[in-house]
Chain A
Amino acid sequence: MSLWEYANPKKFMDTTGPLVPWIVGAAALLMAVGLIWGFFLTPDDFRQGSTVRIVFLHVPSAMMAINIWVMMLVTSLIWLIRRHHVSALAAKAAAPIGLAMTVIALITGGLWGQPMWGTWWVWDPRLTSFLILCLFYIGYIALWQAIEDPDTAADLTAVLCLVGSVFALMSRYAVWFWSQGLHQGASLSLQSGERMAAAYRWPLYTCMVAFGLLFVALVLIATRTEIRARRIKALQTRARLREGAA
């Protein structure tokens, strides 16, 4: 069996239909466990006080904001190279979720920055590249809405996605590229070992998995919706042709 079989809309619908309720359930359960654990059951940090609880929203949403763009990059490349419609529709479906994650990361970052850095915003490399990523998400969604022909829209948004990937990568590695700015390096790193106490690390892992599952659930639902909307357009076109022929 080949992965490309799932590029067939019917195969995609048949396979993902039974999975969606399970993924929705797992995401809801883990989100509740992670956020309740993080908010109610973790101690104040000796330096950051109660603001350390913002980490359980800020880190998973920022991680997903970048990962969703990378997913859109992969599906856009599949569209450009192999012309599979499901991949273009999956990229389109993912964009609003990515925008929501970026906005959450920016807002929680500002709310965390004010008491810790003494400012809501600073033109720091990571913050600035994240703001540009947010604008790319808005531009990507607007471009899909602005173009009537779906194949042309998929082509142009795929190119925009390739360009925006520079900023997605920059958001991820800005702290390494430029050793300046207020934003700290990665909170969790495989190379540098654990930098975070277990009391915070485990609820954070739970929230990260929950945000990931929430994205998978929502992108599957939204992609299925896009496939259905496409079928409606095809049926309406066929009906119009039939009326014209009659």
Chain B
Amino acid sequence: MPDLGAYWLEVMASYVISLAILATLVVLIWRRSDRVRRELSETEARARRAERSDG
């Protein structure tokens, strides 16, 4: 760990807050992607079943 001297709080806060924002962004985008992908699979499966029962 480098010696950050008198400004350790500003430097550490910059890194912690920035990485927390980036991590939150990545998690939110990833989770929504996962949820929508699953929802699409289910919707497509329902559509296929409906087409089979119609035809």
Contact = CB atoms under 8 A, between A and B. Distances in A.
Interface stretch (A48-56, A149-157, A191-199): A48-56
A107 B18 contact: yes
Given A232-B36, A239-B46, A61 B18 contact: yes
A229 B38 CA distance: 11
Interface stretch (A75-83, A111-119, A122-130, A131-139): A111-119
Q: How large is the interface on B (under 10, 10 to 19, 20 to 34, 35 or more residues)?
A: 35 or more
Interface residues of A, number: 38
Chief secondary structure at chain A's binding surface: helix
Contacts of A214: 22
Given A100-B22, A239-B50, A232 B40 contact: yes
Interface of B: 1-8, 10-11, 13-15, 17-18, 21-22, 24-26, 28-30, 32-33, 36-37, 39-40, 43-44, 46-47, 50, 54
Interface of A: 35, 39-40, 44, 49-51, 53-54, 57-58, 61, 96-97, 100, 103-104, 107-108, 111-112, 114-115, 214, 218, 221-222, 224-225, 228-229, 231-232, 235-236, 238-239, 242
